[in-house]
Amino acid sequence: MKSTRLSKHKPTNLASEWFVGLTDEEKEDLRQYLKNSTRMFDLLKNMIQKRYDVASSVKDTDYDSASWAYKQAHRNGKLETLEDLYKLLP
């Protein structure tokens, strides 16, 4: 199964969660800091993508277990969490 690239889920603006509870000055300082941290965020995006790829791979043997539906639900939860984290990154 081919994995989805998380970049397809990428919003164009920063998530508002970054700025909750900050003053206007703190918001601007954080914007500048995030803008200057692109290398670190690129590395983090790659790490999240690799985890997403691993979590999204399904083998035929995964369905041999009687608890396959629970495993699938767990996998879906992992994928959703990784997508949510990726969306937070600038």
DSSP one-letter string for the chain: -PPPPGGGG--SS--GGGGTT--HHHHHHHHHHHHTTHHHHHHHHHHHHHHHHHHH---GGGGGSTTHHHHHHHHHHHHHHHHHHHHH--
Give tens-digit pLDDT for 11-68: 567 889 999 999 999 999 999 999 999 999 999 999 999 999 999 998 888 888 899 9
pLDDT score for 1 = 39
pTM confidence score: 0.77
